[in-house]
């Protein structure tokens, strides 16, 4: 069994604040974390290895310091961390991101043997498109199993997997051929903890770093150059300019005049102003 | 990136008409409405792509909502959505007919299909948009989406590629008023042996209770926030919701605490709603909550803190103690509600 887990290092958006003066995101002092759902993808891969043996490779595209995210995964038990890093990969949209990840997976397959399953998180906290897993599946020409909340059966010999997917209003049980790409939701499993010795050891661990040339990627298809979308503007939503109409007075009085206003202005569906006639 | 598309060959705005278990999702009509608006700006046609088993009966409704053409692909093997099977059909159709813009819903199905198709077509895809505008001169779609947990908006373009693709969140575009007198063309597609060598098979579909969709259709929502204090106090919002003929929802802390089911959480990690009336009771108005309800028709805020950010999005409000204000509201509604009903019945 060989699983490749794609992880992304993200700023912890719960810590990002908007600078009231400049209206831009203030990321100072914001910690970088492994995208939370990616840890569930890693956990699924580690559970596969616990049962079937084999190997778990974690892969990320990002700046040099994303190596620390890979080390966190090594501390949890991954066998190898691969960092795709090169200035030419920078500012990739999801199309160029999946191209880079695909290129790296080609090389991993060539050098480390066939990959049976690729796992990603459902969404990343920052970009939050949820497009990388599906796009990667298509690049790899393997089936996509997204929004996975349970793995019912898996047989790497017979190349078959049965998963549950949670979609709007239903749980779908889907059978698929392997290899496949799974995008994992936090409901899939409980993430294990790294032991302190493992954490310490992982701080020294080597990660494999590859450039555009190392993975044999076409620089024209990488990063900003390879991205069909561009962020043409980014801004903090403007506060509304029209002000909220406040109703004042004693609670009973304020409430009554508010309700009168809502009815008079037809703001409550099904309620007509007193005296109004049906058309 | 090397790509030569002759932009002038691509015309028309398409919408993927999502169906789930044989029923078209309401977001489809919202997307057709949005497509109509964009198409009118650049003087082109709107088409809906309807794929499934026995879904052709929705073609008229698509036309009434603003479509000029409806592509219908029907086959028993298409009953359940499967990414690879649907993707192949859609890619083929796009390559044949060359639409300049293609909108899909930002649902589990729409997102998967959109990224699959965009990857095959090597075109850009803007995710989870909440606003769509048109640069008429350049026939360029300006698609705006929230990022960084909803704290920032970004406008994304893909000027040199066709089609320009975007997924659109449900409930952010108004649902058009259907016009049954509109005319359109229904084009049935040859589907052939559509699922041959499909890599996946749907074994089972278990529908969840309607609970998970109740807020989707609600015209009135009364939402409770942490100001409500305890689960025992929820009856206050329940009574108001009942008097207004609406549903109860909550902010994340309320649902995290288990006071209300997760399916009733409004916001970024909850549900996006678009009722005609939204009453926020004891909710501060954090961005992650606001992104889920800001499209509501009328927003009413009840909060004891006059500086609570909810008053920046609310249209009307009362600064006061919810334990006094909410029962007074319920009483006022009940009094006037009776009268309203009598009036209507009496003609
Ligand atoms: C403001 C803004 C808006 C953007 N909007 C769009 C847009 O609409 N369309 C678009 O195509 N791009 C967009 N991008 C670019 C997008 O954020 C990047 O392409 C990003 O590298 C991947 O997208 P994501 O964070 O949305 O990942 P998602 O698709 O949400 O991530 C899903 C999973 O994919 C894996 N993954 C994602 N990135 C990596 C990585 N670098 N290395 C390894 N695994 C990874 C992880 O397992 C992750 O859990 C935008 C960027 C910004 C700054
Ligand atoms: C990644 C992420 C995703 C999130 N997703 C969501 C989401 O989907 N939905 C969501 O709601 N939140 C979400 N949040 C949480 C969000 O940031 C806020 O923490 C949350 O919305 C606050 O809920 P609240 O307004 O109920 O509580 P609080 O912020 O605690 O506000 C309580 C309000 O009640 C008022 N109050 C107190 N007592 C009274 C009284 N007696 N009478 C009247 N008013 C009173 C107070 O003045 C205050 O304004 C998310 C956060 C993150 C980081």
Using CB atoms within 10 A of its CB, is residue B213 exposed (0-12), middle (13-18) or buried (19+)? middle
Pairing between β-strand B46-52 and β-strand B140-147 as defined by DSSP bridges:
unpaired
pLDDT values of chain B reduced to their tens digit, one per residue, 347 residues: 446 678 899 999 999 999 998 999 999 999 999 999 999 999 999 999 999 999 999 999 999 999 999 999 999 999 999 999 999 999 999 999 999 999 999 999 999 999 999 999 999 999 999 999 999 999 999 999 987 766 678 999 999 999 999 999 888 898 899 999 999 999 999 998 888 889 999 999 998 776 667 888 789 999 999 999 999 999 999 999 999 989 999 999 999 999 999 889 998 888 888 899 999 999 999 988 998 898 898 999 999 999 999 998 999 999 999 999 999 999 999 888 755 544 444 33
The secondary element (H helix, E strand) that includes residue B214 is: helix B214-217
**Cis previous bond, B273, omega within 30:** no
| Alpha-carbon span A177 to A158, nearest angstrom | 9
Using CB atoms within 10 A of its CB, is residue A22 exposed (0-12), middle (13-18) or buried (19+)? exposed
Residues belonging to chain B: 347
On chain B, the residues whose CB falls within 8 A of the CB of A133 are 115
Q: What is the ipTM of this complex?
A: 0.88
Please indicate whether, in this complex, the C-beta atoms of B340 and A270 are within 8 angstroms of each other. Answer: yes
- The verdict on the CB of residue A102 being under 6 Å from ligand 1 is no
Which residue is listed with tokens 């929820």? B234
pLDDT digits (tens, 9 = 90+) for A106-155: 999 999 999 999 999 999 988 889 999 999 999 999 999 999 999 999 99
Residue B141 near residue B158 (C-beta atoms within 8 A) = yes
Question: Which of A70, A129, A227 is the pocket-test mutation for ligand 1 (most atoms within 8 Å of CB)?
Answer: A129
Minimal C-alpha gap between B118 and chain A (Å):
8
Output Rg (C-alpha) for chain B, integer angstroms: 22
> Ligand 1 atom 1: the closest Cα is on which residue?
B154
| Alpha-carbon span B238 to B243, nearest angstrom | 9
Minimal C-alpha gap between A244 and chain B (Å):
5
Distances in Å between the Cα of B27 and the Cα atoms of A27, A44, A123 are 35, 33, 21
């Amino acid at each position: 069994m060989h699983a490749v887990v794609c992880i992304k290092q993200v700023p912890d958006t719960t810590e990002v604040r908007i600078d009231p003066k400049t209206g831009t995101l203030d990321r100072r002092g914001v910690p970088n974390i492994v995208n939370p759902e990616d840890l569930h993808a890693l956990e699924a891969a580690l559970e596969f290895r616990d049962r079937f043996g084999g190997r778990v490779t974690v892969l990320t595209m990002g700046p040099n310091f994303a190596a620390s995210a890979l080390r966190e995964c090594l501390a949890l038990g991954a066998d190898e961390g691969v960092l795709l890093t090169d200035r030419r990969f920078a500012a990739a949209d999801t199309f160029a991101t999946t191209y880079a990840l695909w290129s790296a997976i080609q090389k991993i397959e060539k050098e480390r043997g066939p990959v049976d399953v690729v796992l990603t998180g459902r969404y990343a906290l920052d970009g939050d498109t949820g497009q990388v897993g599906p796009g990667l599946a298509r690049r790899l020409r393997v089936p996509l199993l997204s929004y996975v909340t349970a793995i019912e059966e898996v047989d790497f010999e017979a190349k078959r997997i049965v998963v549950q997917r949670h979609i709007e209003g239903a749980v779908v049980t889907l059978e698929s051929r392997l290899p496949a790409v799974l995008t994992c939701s936090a409901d899939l499993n409980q993430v294990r903890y790294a032991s302190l010795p493992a954490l310490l050891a992982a701080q020294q661990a080597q990660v494999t770093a590859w450039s555009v040339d190392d993975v044999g990627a076409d620089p024209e298809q990488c990063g900003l150059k390879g991205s069909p979308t561009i962020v043409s503007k980014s801004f903090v939503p403007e506060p509304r300019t029209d002000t909220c109409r406040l109703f004042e007075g004693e609670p009973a009085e304020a409430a009554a005049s508010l309700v009168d206003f809502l009815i008079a202005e037809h703001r409550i569906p099904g309620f007509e102003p007193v005296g109004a006639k049906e058309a | 990136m090397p790509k030569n598309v002759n932009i002038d060959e691509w015309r028309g705005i398409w919408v993927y008409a999502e169906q789930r278990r044989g029923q078209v999702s309401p977001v489809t009509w919202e997307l057709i409405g949005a497509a109509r608006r964009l198409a009118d700006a650049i003087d082109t046609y709107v088409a809906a792509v309807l794929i499934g088993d026995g879904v052709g009966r929705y073609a008229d409704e698509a036309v009434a909502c603003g479509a000029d053409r409806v592509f219908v692909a029907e086959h028993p093997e298409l009953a359940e959505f499967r990414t690879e099977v649907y993707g192949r059909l859609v890619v083929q159709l796009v390559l044949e007919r060359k639409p300049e813009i293609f909108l899909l819903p930002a649902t589990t199905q729409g997102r998967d299909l959109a990224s699959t198709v965009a990857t095959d077509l090597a075109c850009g895809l803007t995710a989870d948009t909440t606003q769509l505008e048109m640069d008429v001169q350049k026939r360029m779609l300006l698609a705006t989406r929230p990022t960084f947990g909803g704290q920032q908006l970004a406008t994304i373009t893909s000027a040199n590629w066709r089609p320009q693709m975007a997924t659109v969140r449900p409930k952010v575009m108004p649902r058009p008023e259907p016009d049954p007198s509109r005319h359109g063309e229904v084009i049935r597609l040859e589907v052939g042996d559509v699922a041959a060598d499909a890599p996946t098979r749907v074994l089972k579909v278990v529908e969840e209770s309607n609970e998970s969709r109740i807020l989707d259709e609600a015209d009135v929502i009364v939402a409770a926030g942490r100001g409500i204090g305890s689960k025992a106090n929820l009856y206050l919002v329940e009574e108001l919701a009942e008097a207004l003929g609406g549903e109860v929802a909550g902010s994340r802390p309320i649902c995290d605490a288990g006071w209300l089911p997760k399916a009733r959480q409004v916001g970024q990690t909850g549900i996006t709603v678009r009722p005609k009336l939204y009453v926020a009771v004891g909710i501060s108005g954090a961005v992650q909550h606001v992104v889920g309800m800001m499209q509501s028709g009328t927003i009413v805020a009840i909060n004891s803190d006059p500086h609570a950010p909810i008053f920046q999005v609310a249209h009307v409000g009362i600064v006061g103690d919810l334990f006094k204000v909410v029962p007074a509201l319920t009483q006022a509604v009940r009094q006037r509600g009776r009268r309203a009903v009598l009036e209507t019945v009496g003609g």
